[in-house]
Amino acid sequence: MKELYLIPTPYVFMGVQGNPDKSPFSLYGVPFDSTNSFRGGSRFAPLHIRVASQSLEAYSFRASFNLETNPPVDEGDIFVVHGSTELSLRNISLVSEESFRSRKPVFIGGDHTITYGVIEGALRAGIRPCLLIFDAHLDFRNDYLGYKFSHACVTRRLSERVGADNIVVAGVRAADQSEIKGAKQLGLKYISMLDIMRGTSRDFVRRLRNTLEGCKQIYLSIDMDVVDPAYAPGVATPEPEGLTTSQLLNTLYNIMDERFIGMDVVEVDPTIDLSDITSFLAARIIMEAISYLHTALSNK
Q: What is the pLDDT of residues 169-225, one digit of tens each?
A: 999 999 989 999 999 999 999 999 999 999 999 999 999 999 999 999 999 999 999
DSSP strand pairing (59-60 vs 104-109): unpaired
Prediction pTM value: 0.96
Where does the pLDDT of residue 37 fall: very low under 50, low under 70, confident under 90, or very high at 90 and above? Answer: low
d(CA 100, CA 252) in angstroms, rounded, equals 21
Q: What domains are there in the chain, each with its CATH number?
A: 2-298 (3.40.800.10)
Average pLDDT, the chain: 94
